[in-house]
């Protein structure tokens, strides 16, 4: 296990990753939890590196590692699951189109979430699930049910809601929601990166709302502007909507 992990880091060769993964997921191996956790994290970091390099195959690879690491309690802390690990596992499941697993994971692991924002992270990830499965009515319904106090999480849920209203062609509501989101972004306590990222989304979304769908030149220009804009985590979704 250590040999393959070392070679993976040294050579950046996916072949060593797959050998390491095979060792990690062997059912009859009983590794000490504290030792094996480091190897899981190295393997998952390799997956993230490959995903960032544009290799979508590694969404499913990372998902399998999260699935097994949580099931075997390797990725838990004192029996609890961190909100970040919870959210990352669900995102990977959704990107891998493992929708049934995502639903089951959201519901099953809610009770072992660590921290005071259990309910908030539950609603946030449930919103992601409903959006990715095309149930936009549920996304909107959930927003009005939730009471998310954590500022960054609140912003992320608002963006999912705005996208859901857009998918339902409620464009006037979208404009109002973008105005509200801009007011929220003016608050203190938001890191500069996040503020710039979400401000970019608001700006590009506004331009998309005012776009003449028959003006092909304007659509092309906006797509080019979106591609150049960084940071912008919603870039793929915006480009898809303009292309349609």
Give bridge partners of residue 221 from the DSSP assignment: none
* CA atoms of 15 and 30, how far apart (whole Å): 23
Q: What would the two tokens of residue 152 be? A: 């960054």
Q: Quick one: CA torsion of 66, 77, 102, 22, rounded to 10 degrees?
A: 20
- Among residues of the chain, what percentage have pLDDT more than 90? 75
Q: Quick one: CA torsion of 194, 198, 204, 208, rounded to 10 degrees?
A: 150
What is the overall mean pLDDT for the chain? Answer: 92
Give bridge partners of residue 80 from the DSSP assignment: 77
C-alpha count within 13 angstroms, C-beta hemisphere, residue 44: 20
Q: Note the pLDDT tens digit of each residue in 89-144.
A: 999 999 999 999 999 999 999 989 988 778 899 999 999 999 999 999 999 998 88
DSSP result, 205-219? HHHHHT--TT-HHHH
CB count within 10 Å of CB 151 equals: 15
């Amino acid at each position: 296990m250590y040999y393959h992990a070392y070679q993976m880091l040294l050579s950046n060769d996916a072949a060593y990753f797959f050998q390491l993964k095979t060792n990690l997921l062997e059912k009859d191996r009983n590794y000490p939890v504290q030792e094996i956790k480091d190897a899981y994290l190295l393997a998952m970091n390799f997956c993230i590196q490959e995903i960032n390099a544009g290799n979508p195959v590694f969404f499913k690879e990372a998902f399998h590692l999260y699935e097994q690491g949580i099931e075997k309690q390797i990725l838990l802390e004192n029996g609890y699951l961190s909100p970040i690990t919870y959210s990352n596992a669900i995102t990977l499941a959704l990107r891998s189109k493992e929708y049934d697993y995502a639903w089951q994971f959201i519901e099953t692991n809610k009770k072992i979430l660590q921290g005071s924002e259990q309910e908030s992270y539950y609603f946030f990830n449930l919103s992601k699930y409903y959006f990715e499965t095309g149930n936009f009515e549920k996304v909107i319904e959930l927003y009005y049910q939730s009471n998310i106090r954590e500022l960054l999480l609140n912003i992320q849920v608002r963006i999912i809601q705005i996208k859901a209203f857009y998918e339902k062609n409620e464009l006037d509501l979208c404009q109002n929601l973008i105005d509200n989101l801009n007011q929220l972004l003016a608050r203190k306590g938001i890191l500069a990166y996040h503020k710039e990222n979400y401000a970019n989304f608001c700006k590009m979304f506004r331009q998309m709302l005012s776009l003449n769908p028959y003006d092909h030149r304007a659509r092309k220009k906006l797509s080019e502007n979106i591609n150049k804009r960084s940071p912008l985590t919603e870039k793929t979704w915006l480009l898809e909507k303009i292309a349609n």
